[in-house]
Amino acid sequence: MAENVNAGASGELTLPLLLQSDNKDNNEVQRMDELYEILARHAHLYYDLDSPEISDFEYDALVRELLELELKHPELIHANSPTKRVGGAASSKFKKITHKMPMLSLDNVFSLSELENFYARLNLNINKDIFTCEMKIDGAAVSLIYQDGKFIRGATRGDGKIGEDITENLKAVKSLPKVIKAQGLVEVRGEVLMKWPSFNNLNKAREAKGESLFANPRNAASGTLRQLDANIVAERGLDIFLYYLVDAEAHGVKSQSDALSWLAENNLPVQPVWQKCIGLEQVNNFILNWQDKRAELDYVTDGAVVKLDDLTLWPAIGATSHAPRWAVAYKYPPEAARSKILSIDISVGRTGVLTPVANLEPVRLSGTQVSRAGLHNFEEIKRKDIRVGDVVKVRKAAEIIPEIIEVEKNLRTGSEEVFKEPETCPACGERVVKIKGEAALRCVNRAACPAQLKESIVYFASHLNIMGLGDKLAEQLAASGKIKFLSDLYNLNLSDWSSFDKMGVKSANKILAELEKSKTQPAANLIAALGIRYVGKAAAEILCSNFNDLNELKNAGLEKLSSLDGIGDVTAEAIRAFFNDKLNLELLNRLKALNFNFNFKLNNNLKDNKLANKIFVFTGELANFKRDEAAQLVKNLGGRVTNSISSKTDYLVAGDKGGSKLSKAEKLSVKIIDEQEFLRLINA
Ligand code: IVH
| Residues 477 and 452 sit within 8 Å (Cβ to Cβ) | no
pLDDT confidence bin for 602, thresholds 50/70/90: low
Which of 305, 321, 328 best tests ligand 1's pocket when mutated (most atoms within 8 Å of CB)? 305
Question: Which range is least confidently modeled, 5-9, 267-271, 476-480?
Answer: 5-9
Catalytic residue among 24, 136, 174, 519: 136
Provide the phi-psi class of 389: left if phi over 0, else alpha when psi is between -120 and 50, else beta: left
> Which of 312-321, 619-628, 649-658 shows the lowest mean pLDDT across its residues?
619-628
CATH superfamily label, 96-331: DNA ligase/mRNA capping enzyme (3.30.470.30)
Cα(271) to centroid(ligand 1), Å:
12
Return the SS3 of 96.
Answer: strand
DSSP 44: I
Q: How far is the CA of 684 from the centre of ligand 1 (A)?
A: 26
Contact 32, 69 (CB under 8 A): yes
Q: Please check the confidence at residue 363 and state whether its pLDDT lies above 60.
A: yes
> Domain 335-443 is classified in which CATH homologous superfamily?
Nucleic acid-binding proteins (2.40.50.140)
579: region left, alpha or beta (phi > 0 left; psi from -120 to 50 alpha) = alpha
Report CA-CA distances (Å) from 100 to 103, 144, 307, 318, 448: 9, 12, 22, 17, 57
* Active-site annotation holds for 136: yes
Position 477 pLDDT exceeds 60: yes
Weakest-pLDDT range from 71-85, 145-159, 216-230, 528-542? 71-85
**Residue 214 β-bridge partners:** none
CATH number of 615-683: 3.40.50.10190
Q: Report which ligand 1 atom has the smallest distance to the Cα of 106.
A: 24
For residue 143, the one-letter residue type is S
Beta strands in 287-352 (DSSP E): 301-308, 327-331, 335-348
By alpha-carbon position, which residue is closest to atom 23 of ligand 1? 105
DSSP percent split of the chain into helix, strand, coil, nearest 5: 40, 20, 40
- The pLDDT assigned to 57 comes to 67
HSE (side-chain half, CA atoms, 13 Å) at 146:
23
Predicted confidence (pLDDT) at residue 140 exceeds the cutoff of 60? yes
Per-residue pLDDT at 604 exceeds 60: no
DSSP letter (8 states) at residue 270: -
User: For a pocket test of ligand 1, which of 63, 137, 156 has the largest count of ligand atoms closer than 8 A to its C-beta?
Assistant: 137
- Give the C-alpha separation, 304 to 25, whole Å: 37
Q: Which of 83, 106, 192 to mutate to test the pocket of ligand 1 (most atoms within 8 A of CB)?
A: 106
Distance between Cα 183 and ligand 1 center (Å): 25
In this structure, which amino acid lies at residue 412?
R
What is the spatial distance between Cα 684 and Cα 680, in angstroms, rounded to a whole number?
6
Predicted local confidence at residue 492, as pLDDT: 96
pLDDT category at 397 given cuts 50, 70, 90 is low
How many whole angstroms separate alpha carbon 177 and alpha carbon 186? 13
What's the CA-to-centroid distance between 196 and ligand 1, angstroms? 20
- Going from the Cα of 243 to the center of ligand 1, the distance in angstroms, rounded, reads 8
Beta strand 671-673 with 651-654 is: parallel
Predicted local distance difference test score (pLDDT) of residue 178? 94
Q: Which atom of ligand 1 is nearest to the CA of 271?
A: 15
Distance 218 CA to ligand 1 centre (A): 13
String of b and e for 332-353 (b: at least 16 CB within 10 Å)?
bebbebebbbeebebbbbbbbb
3-state secondary structure of 68: helix
Q: 12 vs 126, 209, 341, 355, CA distance in Å? A: 53, 19, 17, 8
Give the other-Cβ count within 10 Å of 454's Cβ.
26
Backbone dihedral region for residue 669 (phi beyond 0: left; psi -120 to 50: alpha; all else: beta): left
Q: How far apart are CA 642 and CA 629, in angstroms?
A: 14
User: Does 42 score more than 50 pLDDT?
Assistant: yes
Phi-psi category of residue 158: left, alpha or beta, with phi > 0 → left and psi -120 to 50 → alpha = left
Ligand 1: centre distance to CA 190 (Å): 7
Question: Is residue 193 within a helix (H) or strand (E), and if so which, with residue range?
Answer: strand 185-193
The Cα–Cα gap between 527 and 532 comes to 8
Name the nearest CA neighbour of 180 among 224, 159, 149.
149
Mean pLDDT, residues 426-448? 87
Could you read off the pLDDT of 323-340 as tens digits, one per residue?
A: 999 999 999 887 788 999
Cα distance between residue 177 and residue 240, in whole Å: 10
Beta-sheet pairing, 651-654 with 615-619: parallel
Burial of residue 554 (CB within 10 Å: 0-12, 13-18, 19+) is middle
Does the pLDDT of residue 13 top 50, yes or no?
A: no
- For the cut 60, the answer to whether the pLDDT of residue 86 exceeds it is no
What is the number of the ligand 1 atom nearest to the C-alpha of 135? 15
Query: In this structure, which residue's CA is closest to atom 17 in ligand 1?
Result: 136
Q: How far, in Å, CA of 171 to CA of 227, rounded? A: 13
For residue 6, is pLDDT > 60? no
620-632: buried (b, 16+ CB within 10 Å) or exposed (e) per residue? Answer: bebeebeeeebbe
> Which comes out higher in pLDDT, residue 435 or 604?
435
Fill in the DSSP letter of residue 682. Answer: H
CA distance 679 to 228: 11
Cα 37 to chain centroid, rounded: 17
523-572 tens-digit pLDDT:
888 999 999 988 887 788 889 989 999 999 999 999 999 998 778 888 89
Instruction: Answer whether residue 16 shows pLDDT above 60.
Output: no
Nearest CA among 243, 246, 268 for reference residue 314: 246
Contact 92, 328 (CB under 8 A): no
pLDDT bucket at 15, cuts 50 / 70 / 90: very low
Containing 673, the helix (H) or strand (E) segment is: strand 671-673
What is the pLDDT confidence band of residue 683, given thresholds at 50, 70 and 90?
A: low
Residue % of the chain over a pLDDT of 70 = 89
**Per CATH, is 450-603 categorized as 3.20.20.80?**
no
> What does the DSSP 8-state code read for residue 446?
T
- How sure is the predictor about 400, in pLDDT bands with cuts at 50, 70 and 90? low
Q: How far is the CA of 15 from the centre of ligand 1 (A)?
A: 27
**If you take atom 22 of ligand 1, which residue's CA is the nearest one?**
105
Please report which helix (H) or strand (E) contains residue 627, including its range: helix 627-636
- What confidence score (pLDDT) does residue 62 get? 83
Measured from the CA of 108, which atom of ligand 1 is nearest?
A: 7
| Closest residue to atom 6 of ligand 1, CA basis | 136
* pLDDT at 162 > cutoff 50: yes
Q: If you take atom 2 of ligand 1, which residue's CA is the nearest one?
A: 104
Closest ligand 1 atom to Cα of 138: 19
- Per the prediction, the chain carries an average pLDDT of 86
Residue 137's pLDDT is: 96
Please, which pLDDT band fits residue 1 given cuts at 50, 70 and 90? very low
Residue 18 scores a pLDDT above 70: no
Q: In this predicted structure, which of 94-103, 396-405, 638-647 has the lowest mean pLDDT?
A: 396-405
Predicted pLDDT of residue 184 = 94
What's the rounded Cα separation, in Å, for the pair 642 and 652? 10
Which pLDDT band, with edges at 50, 70 and 90, does 216 fall under? confident
Instruction: Name the residue with the closest Cα to ligand 1, atom 10.
Output: 105
Ligand 1 nearest atom to the CA of residue 324, by list position: 2
Mean pLDDT (whole number) for 298-305? 93
CA 140 to centroid of ligand 1, rounded, Å = 9
What is the pLDDT at residue 11?
27
Rounded distance, CA 364 to CA 369, Å? Answer: 5
- Ligand 1, atom 16, lies closest to the CA of 136
Look at residue 633 in the predicted model and tell me its pLDDT.
72
Instruction: Indicate whether 2 pLDDT > 80.
Output: no
Q: Pocket around ligand 1: residues whose beta carbon is below 6 Å from it?
A: 104-106, 134, 136-137, 141, 191, 243-244, 305, 324, 327, 329
Q: Is the pLDDT of residue 46 over 90?
A: no
Radius of gyration of the chain (CA): 26
* Domain spans in the chain, listed from the N-terminal domain onward: 96-331, 335-443, 450-603, 615-683
**Which contiguous run of DSSP H or E holds residue 192?**
strand 185-193
Three state DSSP letters for 541-566: HHHHHHCCEHHHHHHCCHHHHHCCCC
- Greatest mean pLDDT among 54-58, 81-85, 134-138, 613-617 lies in 134-138
Residue whose Cα lies nearest atom 18 of ligand 1: it is 136
What is the pLDDT at residue 519? 85
For residues 239-262, average pLDDT: 98
CA gap 628, 294 in Å, rounded: 56
Q: What is the pLDDT of residue 68?
A: 82
What's the per-residue H, E or C state across 99-155? CCCCCCCCCEECCHHHHHHHHHHHCCCHHHCEEEEEEEECCEEEEEEEECCEEEEEE
* Ramachandran angles phi, psi of 80, nearest 5°: -105, 40
**Strand intervals (E) in 2-72:** none
Nearest ligand 1 atom, CA 139? 19
Confidence bin at 153 (pLDDT 50/70/90): very high
Is pLDDT at 302 greater than 80 in this prediction? yes
Residue 572: name the closest of 551, 557, 552 by CA. 557
User: Cα–Cα distance between 366 and 352 in angstroms, integer?
Assistant: 31
Ligand 1 pocket mutation pick from 188, 191, 287 by most atoms within 8 angstroms of CB: 191
Q: What angle separates helix 28-43 from helix 569-579, to the nearest 10 degrees?
A: 70
